[in-house]
Amino acid sequence: MIFQLSYEELAAYLASCGEAAYRSDQIWGWLYRQSVFSFEEMTTLSLPLRQRLQADHPGSFPGLMDRAISRDGSEKVLWQLADGKQVESVLLQTETREGSWISACLSTQAGCSMGCSFCATGQAGFRRNLTAGEILAQLVGLQAKSGERVGRLLLMGMGEPLMNADAVKKAIYLAQDPRGLALGGRRITLSTIGPRNLGQFLASTPRVEMAFSLHAPNDLLRASLVEQADSLLPIRTALELLYDYRREAGRMVTVEYLMLAEINDSWSHAKELASLLEGSAYFVNLLPFNASLGLPYRSSPAERIRAFAEVLRASGLTVKIRKPRGVDIGGACGQLRGQQSLS
């Protein structure tokens, strides 16, 4: 798969084909600066070279099975990979006082093995890890199909990124290459629920921003929500690792907390979470639950979420109640399934 290759690997491959060195820059430019999504469109290359690329790198460009556009402008795309597995990714338009940008939310696995009871992806089961090339192809494909240039990369789609650590690391390296997409570490955010390899991952991965999917203020409640809770670090241990990472790497760490009515949204839960995060200077995102077919949860009422936020703010934490995006097309957090057409 062509997206699996680093610039150096691409250059070595082309040299083995007897091609001139400048071909590396041409192909890299087509892929990452012009977001061309087929070898046929690389018109500065000779026809024999394009045919060679197609023969040597089949399945490089996932098939677009379907796409849906939300009322809020978000766009969800269903991709089919070379082996028939399907994954989804989402293009988000974000407007803030500081400006506007396009974010790409990518999947790192086909399905997920963590079994979070509040997440459609987890309930659909695990099929396989994606390669680094399959992760990156989603980003380039979104740019190619939409005509938009992505300014931020969110590794928050289907799957737990740390359960596919090696491929995710390579995808981050490739996304950061200044000769291509050139996405700096502050423009890449990785979301994790905190598997046991968190410390190793933080120590060996390019510096990016992190989001910790917490959703419970204690390990007992989290274990009732996450089927594979035994594969996770204790909450306090994960927070300590992330706190050290934030201090040493200078990257933002966000705590994501899903608001589930009558499950984790009481005043006592808020006080417990405030105590857990006290002195950490974390940014806290409160996420209304996005309903998915068959999941037995409701979102906390808006006034309850606001009251929960005030308890956290009173303890000195910075809190934002996040507005869901793409709910009407099944493209919001926890709604991605990647099993069937969107239509």
Q: Give the separation between CA 215 and CA 237, rounded to whole angstroms.
A: 16
| One domain, residues 32 and 108 | no
pLDDT tens digits, 80-104: 999 999 999 999 987 666 667 899 9
Q: Locate 236 and state its tokens.
A: 């306090």
Q: Locate 116 and state its tokens.
A: 């979070």
Q: Please check whether residue 230 lies inside any domain of the structure.
A: yes
| One domain, residues 32 and 70 | no
| One domain, residues 160 and 234 | yes
**Set 105, 112, 116, 333: catalytic member:** 333
Q: Please check whether residue 66 lies inside any domain of the structure.
A: yes
| One domain, residues 217 and 159 | yes
| One domain, residues 172 and 284 | yes
Q: 197 vs 166, 202, 320, CA distance in Å? A: 11, 9, 28
Instruction: Say whether 333 is catalytic.
Output: yes
Residue with tokens 């992760």: 135
| One domain, residues 272 and 181 | yes
Instruction: Name which of 36, 320, 325, 341 is nearest 156 in CA terms.
Output: 325
Q: Please check whether residue 31 lies inside any domain of the structure.
A: yes
Q: 310 vs 166, 252, 263, 268, 285, CA distance in Å? A: 40, 22, 18, 13, 13
Q: Give the separation between CA 57 and CA 61, rounded to whole angstroms.
A: 9
Instruction: Name which of 247, 251, 313 is nearest 286 in CA terms.
Output: 313
The domain tally of the chain equals 2
Q: Please check whether residue 343 lies inside any domain of the structure.
A: no
| One domain, residues 178 and 206 | yes
Q: Residue 101 CA to chain centroid, in angstroms?
A: 16
Instruction: Name which of 282, 261, 260, 273 is nearest 310 in CA terms.
Output: 273
Question: CATH no. for residue 10?
Answer: 1.10.150.530
Q: Please check whether residue 112 lies inside any domain of the structure.
A: yes
DSSP, collapsed to helix, strand or coil, labels residue 326 as: coil
Instruction: Name which of 61, 58, 77 is nearest 69 in CA terms.
Output: 77
Q: Please check whether residue 184 lies inside any domain of the structure.
A: yes
∠ at Cα 33 (137, 98), nearest 5°?
Answer: 95
Instruction: Provide the residue-wise pLDDT of the chain in tens; the chain has 343 residues.
Output: 999 999 999 999 999 999 999 999 999 999 999 999 999 999 999 999 999 999 999 999 999 999 988 888 889 999 999 999 999 999 998 766 666 789 999 999 999 999 999 888 877 789 999 999 999 999 999 999 999 899 999 999 999 999 999 999 999 999 999 999 999 999 999 999 999 999 999 999 889 999 999 999 999 999 999 999 999 999 999 999 999 999 999 999 999 999 999 999 999 999 999 999 998 878 999 999 887 767 889 999 999 999 999 999 999 999 999 887 666 666 557 666 655 544 3
Q: Residue 43 CA to chain centroid, in angstroms?
A: 32
| C-alpha count within 13 angstroms, C-beta hemisphere, residue 212 | 29
Q: List the beta strands (DSSP E) in 196-331.
A: 209-213, 253-259, 283-288, 318-321
Q: Please check whether residue 334 lies inside any domain of the structure.
A: no
Domain boundary among 59, 77, 92: 59
Residue 295 belongs to domain spanning: 62-329
Question: CATH no. for residue 218?
Answer: 3.20.20.70
Domain boundary among 36, 59, 82: 59
Q: Are strands 126-129 and 75-80 parallel, antiparallel or unpaired?
A: unpaired
| One domain, residues 243 and 266 | yes
Q: Locate 77 and state its tokens.
A: 């795309």
Q: Are strands 99-105 and 109-111 parallel, antiparallel or unpaired?
A: unpaired
| One domain, residues 274 and 205 | yes
Q: Locate 144 and state its tokens.
A: 């190619």
**Set 88, 134, 160, 209: catalytic member:** 88
Strand partners, 63: 80
| One domain, residues 145 and 55 | no
Average pLDDT, the chain: 91
Q: Please check whether residue 188 lies inside any domain of the structure.
A: yes
| One domain, residues 232 and 319 | yes
Domain boundary among 59, 78, 109: 59
pLDDT tens digits, 42-84: 999 999 999 999 999 999 999 999 998 888 888 999 999 999 9
Instruction: Name which of 250, 114, 262 is nearest 191 in CA terms.
Output: 114
| One domain, residues 195 and 276 | yes
DSSP, collapsed to helix, strand or coil, labels residue 151 as: coil
